[in-house]
Amino acid sequence: MTDLRALLAGPVQDAARGLLNARISGGGVTVRLTEVEAYAGVGEDPSSHAHRRQTARNAVMFGPPGFAYVYFTYGMHWCVNVVCGPAGRAAAVLLRAGEVVEGPEIARSRRPRSSDRDLARGPARLATVLGADRNADGASLLDGAGPLRLAAGERAPADRIRIGPRVGVRTDTAWRFWLDGEPTVSVFRRHVRRRTSRDHAR
DNA sequence: AGTAGGATAATCT
DNA sequence: GATTATCCTACTG
């Protein structure tokens, strides 16, 4: 068991590794994390929401560690991050996938058409299964007062941690971490530029 | 296995 | 007006 507070206060890549096997709970469901991604702050990481400057959306990333940064994307999906690093320096770990270890019936009721393996296989699926949305954004993950709660798990042995490029972003820094051999790890996808109206016109 | 397109709205330029 | 840290379905092989 690791000290979660100390882990989250440290470098975001170390925090990401340490979050593998951690448990996140929400709405009666607990997930054991099998895949995460690290994101850094202003000027450090072109793919980070905090790369340019602090805004209303990313403000919680600039605050103290141990809070949830939950954002809405693609017009329909919520994704959950754990804020890391010291206050004033933006960093967060995106929770990409995991295995449902408590509340499988509730999890299935939230994603009725999903196989058990796919219940939390992907960041938006994970958020759905936990019932996480705007109501969790900015809430503490450690004090038990908010809708989500984070707890340390068994430390993953270094030889079981796999490292590779992050999913769906332009930059190819190897800041994605997952547990080798876990069926709940999501499939890698390269960033694809969607067809724009201008493309359509030509 | 892989690829491709559509859904759908906040956020940012 | 363009982009998006995604997911689902449908189609090809």
Spell out residues with C-beta < 7 A from strand C: A 37, 39, 47-50, 58, 61, 69, 71, 73-77, 79, 81, 92, 94, 111, 113-114, 118, 122-126, 166-170, 186, 189, 192-194, 196-198
Domain boundaries along the sequence of chain A: 4-201
Overall average pLDDT of the A73-96 stretch: 98
Phi, psi dihedral angles at A81 (to 5 degrees): -120, 155
Overall average pLDDT of the A49-72 stretch: 98
- Per-residue pLDDT of A72-82, as tens digits, reads 999 999 999 99
Q: E strands of A2-146, at which residues?
A: 23-26, 29-39, 68-73, 77-83, 92-102
Overall average pLDDT of the A70-96 stretch: 98
- Partnered with residue A70 across adjacent β-strands are A80
Per-residue pLDDT, A198:
46
Topology of domain A4-201 in CATH is: 3-methyladenine DNA Glycosylase; Chain A (3.10.300)
- Whether pTM exceeds 0.85: yes
Residue A169 has pLDDT above 90, yes or no: no
Going by pLDDT thresholds of 50, 70 and 90, the confidence category of residue A131 is very high
The β-bridge relationship of strands A68-73 and A161-164 is unpaired
Residue A200 has pLDDT above 80, yes or no: no
Per-residue pLDDT, A195:
57
Chain B nucleotides close to protein (CB under 7 A) are 5-13
Mean pLDDT of chain A: 94
Overall average pLDDT of the A83-107 stretch: 98
Per-residue pLDDT, A74:
96
Going by pLDDT thresholds of 50, 70 and 90, the confidence category of residue A202 is very low
CA of A9 to C1' of B9 (A): 33
Phi, psi dihedral angles at A7 (to 5 degrees): -60, -50
Phi, psi dihedral angles at A132 (to 5 degrees): -90, 130
Going by pLDDT thresholds of 50, 70 and 90, the confidence category of residue A201 is very low
